[in-house]
Amino acid sequence: MHGVVRDAPGRALDQPGNAQSLTADAHTLYMRTVKRCALAAGRDMSDRRSTYACDRSAVRSASARPSARQLAAIRTVVNWYFETHFRRPLDPGVTQMFSDSTRVGAFAADPQALAAGRGDALFRALIVAVMFQRRQDKQVTRILRGISAKDARELTSPRALTRLADNCGCRHARTTGGLRVDCDLTKHPETRLGICGANPTIACAPKRHTVLLKRYGHFGKVPTSAALLLREAGAQDLTSLLERAGATAQGKTAKSRALVGALSGAWRVSEKIASMFLSAVFNPDYASGAQRREDIDWRHFVVIDSNVDLFLQSIGYRGLWTYTARRDFLRQASRMTRLTAFRHDVQRDNPRIVQQAMYLFMSAANRRAISYDCAHSPGACVRCPMVLKRRCPVRQTRSIAPRRKRAQW
Q: Which tens digit of pLDDT belongs to each residue from 239-270?
A: 999 999 988 899 999 999 999 999 999 999 99
Tell me the percentage of the chain whose pLDDT exceeds 70.
81
CA dihedral 323, 326, 329, 335 (to 10 degrees): -60
Q: Do 121 and 149 have their domain in common? A: yes
Q: Are 114 and 121 in contact (CB under 8 A)?
A: yes
Identify whether residues 317 and 169 lie together within a single domain.
Answer: no
Flag whether pLDDT at 49 surpasses 70. Answer: no
User: Which structural domain range is residue 364 located in?
Assistant: 68-89+299-389
Q: Is the dihedral of CA 241, 247, 248, 253 positive or negative?
A: positive
Predicted pLDDT at 405: 44
**Domain-embedded: residue 404:** no
DSSP lists the bridge partners of residue 8 as: 11
pLDDT digits (tens, 9 = 90+) for 6-48: 333 333 333 333 333 444 445 555 555 556 555 655 555 555 4
Pairwise CA distance, residues 116 & 381, whole Å: 42
Q: Above 70 in pLDDT, residue 210?
A: yes
Residues 13 and 133 in one domain: no
pLDDT at 87 over 60: yes
Together in a domain, 80 and 162: no
For residue 276, being part of any structural domain is answered with yes
Same domain, 239 and 145: yes
Q: Quick check: is 394 in a domain?
A: no
217 lies in some domain? yes
Higher pLDDT, 3 or 244: 244
* Residues 269, 128 share a domain: yes
- Evaluate whether residue 189 is within a structural domain: yes
What pLDDT is recorded for position 409?
Answer: 33
Average confidence (pLDDT) over 56-84: 84
Question: Do 304 and 292 share a structural domain?
Answer: no
Residue 257 forms part of a structural domain: yes
pLDDT of residue 137: 93
pLDDT average, residue stretch 276-288: 96
pLDDT, one tens digit per residue, over 68-80 is 999 999 999 999 9
Residues 184 and 247 in one domain: yes
Q: Is the model's pLDDT at 126 over the cut of 90?
A: yes
Q: Report if residue 398 sits inside a domain.
A: no
> Which residues, at least 6 apart from 135, have a Cβ–Cβ distance to it below 8 Å?
215
| Calpha distance 106→95 (Å, rounded) | 16
Contacts 24+ apart (CB under 8 A), 353-357: 353/78, 353/81, 353/86, 353/285, 354/74, 354/78, 354/330, 355/302, 355/303, 355/304, 355/308, 355/330, 356/81, 356/91, 356/93, 356/94, 356/303, 357/74, 357/77, 357/78, 357/80, 357/81, 357/82
Domain edge (last residue) among 250, 265, 298:
298
Q: How far is CA 97 from the centre of its chain?
A: 14
Average pLDDT of span 157-172: 97
Q: Decide if pLDDT at 2 tops 50.
A: no
At residue 63, the pLDDT reads 60
- Position 181 pLDDT exceeds 90: yes
Of 48, 93, 23, residue with least CA distance to 321: 23
Q: Based on the fold, state whether residues 19 and 108 are members of the same structural domain.
A: no
**Interval 327-363: pLDDT, tens:** 999 999 999 999 999 999 999 999 999 999 999 999 9
172, 164, 230: which is closest to 200 by C-alpha? 172
Name the residue among 61, 71, 68, 67 with its Cα closest to residue 22: 61
Instruction: Tell me which of 268, 298, 328 is where a domain ends.
Output: 298
Asked whether residue 16 falls in the same domain as residue 133, the answer is no
Predicted confidence band at 158 (pLDDT cuts at 50, 70, 90)?
very high
Split into its structural domains, the chain has a count of: 3
pLDDT value of residue 395: 79
Query: What is the model's pLDDT at position 41?
Result: 53
Evaluate if residue 273 carries a pLDDT over 90.
Answer: yes
- Is residue 125 over pLDDT 90? yes
Chain mean pLDDT for the chain: 86
Looking at the fold, whether 231 and 100 belong to one and the same domain comes out as yes
Examine the domain organization and report whether 22 and 134 are in the same domain. Answer: no
> Can you give the pLDDT at residue 54?
56
Residue 396 lies in a domain: no
Confidence tier at 127 by pLDDT (50, 70, 90): very high
